[in-house]
């Protein structure tokens, strides 16, 4: 049996002083110790540097002006020496066997461009999600399999099936092929990266729940009510980029994914506009009008949102008959 591949742990953090200690402790408690730990502090203005100080002799510390999550991860990737890179957000936690299990999966599936473990989501009040994998991925393990590797490009086009980057391990060679994260995508740079990886490599999913994803209102995407809209807008921009770059055989499928994302984002903005956040919903619909050549949804939902209730009901019946969204198969 050959020597196991070397592992670099990449931790990105911004104003997470209350949580970074627990994240670091979960790394140093791994049954398979990493060969290198890199922490990128993206210009924190709280006591994050002070909380990291006791661990400085065990890690590489990079502090930079605030540039966003993608740029932070890129800075660490450029620095990393490991053959496998495992990512952890500064407010999340790993179970002790996370790295050992993931490295074993990487060795068992050497062609994989990405290895993702399952996990749970939690908050200060307790468990909020018992599985980070959505049903299409969770169903892969019905026959008792703990590790599945497959072509996942179309799966990732339907949506990001990896809840947090803290689930992810990526071979260093993968970045040589697909490039680094796109800093222009504030919220979906991880989804964009996974799509580019899935276009070139199989993706390996591991059933074990080994990551604890912390939910709180201070997350990068903001309060819960804003997340769907912010992610949606960033997702539309990202998928439009993929339409332009996709191989001819995939282009129509990617365009269908873009149309679907425009529709669901416009629909969410509409319901926001007629409920308790009218200003936010209308602003999103106005911005989505730039995509009206791809989908009529933004125009339709904006007109409905600006109409009285009786007219909205009438327009709703017409919309359901006329405005069809193609389904991804």
Of the candidate ranges 48-62, 69-83, 263-277, the one whose mean pLDDT is the lowest: 263-277
User: Which percentage of the chain shows pLDDT scores above 90?
Assistant: 78
Return the C-alpha torsion angle 136, 138, 143, 144, nearest 10: 160
Q: pLDDT-derived band of residue 328, with 50, 70 and 90 as boundaries?
A: low
DSSP string computed for 278-297: HHHHHHHHHHHGGGTTT-SH
CATH of region 7-214, choose from 3.40.50.1370, 1.10.10.10, 3.90.550.10, 3.50.30.50: 3.90.550.10
Q: Where are the domains of the chain?
A: 7-214, 224-322
Q: What is the pLDDT of residue 145?
A: 83
Q: What is the pLDDT of residue 223?
A: 56
Average pLDDT of the chain is 91
Between 316 and 150, whose confidence is greater?
A: 150
Give the tens place of pLDDT for each residue, 151-197: 999 999 999 999 999 999 999 999 999 999 999 998 999 999 999 99
Residue 221: is its pLDDT beyond 50?
no
Q: What is the pLDDT of residue 309?
A: 78
Q: What is the pLDDT of residue 227?
A: 76
Residue 314: is its pLDDT beyond 90?
no
DSSP string computed for 247-264: -HHHHHHHHHHHHHHHHH
Distance of CA 275 to the CA centre of its chain: 28
What gap in Å lies between CA 90 and CA 41, rounded to an integer? Answer: 9
Q: What is the pLDDT of residue 1?
A: 46
Q: Where are the alpha helices (DSSP H) in the chain?
A: 17-28, 48-52, 69-79, 98-108, 135-138, 153-158, 172-178, 189-200, 224-245, 248-273, 278-288, 297-305, 309-322
């Amino acid at each position: 049996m050959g020597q196991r591949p070397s592992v670099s742990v990449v931790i990105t953090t911004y104003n997470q002083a209350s949580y970074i200690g627990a994240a670091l402790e979960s790394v140093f408690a791994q049954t398979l110790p990493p060969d290198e730990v890199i922490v990128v502090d993206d210009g924190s203005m709280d006591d994050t540097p002070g909380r990291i100080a006791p661990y400085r002799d065990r890690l590489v510390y990079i502090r930079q002006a605030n540039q966003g999550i993608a740029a932070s991860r890129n800075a660490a990737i450029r620095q990393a020496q490991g053959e496998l890179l495992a990512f952890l957000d500064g407010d999340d936690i790993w179970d002790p066997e996370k790295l050992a299990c993931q490295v074993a999966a990487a060795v068992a599936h050497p062609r994989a461009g990405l290895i993702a473990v399952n996990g749970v989501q939690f908050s200060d009040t307790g468990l909020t999600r018992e599985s980070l994998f959505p049903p299409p991925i969770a169903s892969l393990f019905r026959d008792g399999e703990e590790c599945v590797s497959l072509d996942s490009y179309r799966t990732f086009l339907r949506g990001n099936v990896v809840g947090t980057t803290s689930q992810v391990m990526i071979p260093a060679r993968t970045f040589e092929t697909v490039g680094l994260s796109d800093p222009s995508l504030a919220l979906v740079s991880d989804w964009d990266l996974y799509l580019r990886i899935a276009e070139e490599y199989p993706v390996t999913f591991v059933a074990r729940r080994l990551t604890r994803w912390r939910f709180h209102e201070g997350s990068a995407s903001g309060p819960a009510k804003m997340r769907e809209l912010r992610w949606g807008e960033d997702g539309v921009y990202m998928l439009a980029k993929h339409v332009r770059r996709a191989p001819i055989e995939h282009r129509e499928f990617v365009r269908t994914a873009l149309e679907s994302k425009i529709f669901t984002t416009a629909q969410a903005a509409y319901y926001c506009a007629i409920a308790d956040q009218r200003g936010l919903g209308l602003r999103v619909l106005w911005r989505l009008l730039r995509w009206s050549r791809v989908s009529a949804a933004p125009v339709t939902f904006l007109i409905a949102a600006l109409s009285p209730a009786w007219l909205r009901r009438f327009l709703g019946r017409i919309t359901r008959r006329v405005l069809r969204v193609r389904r991804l198969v």
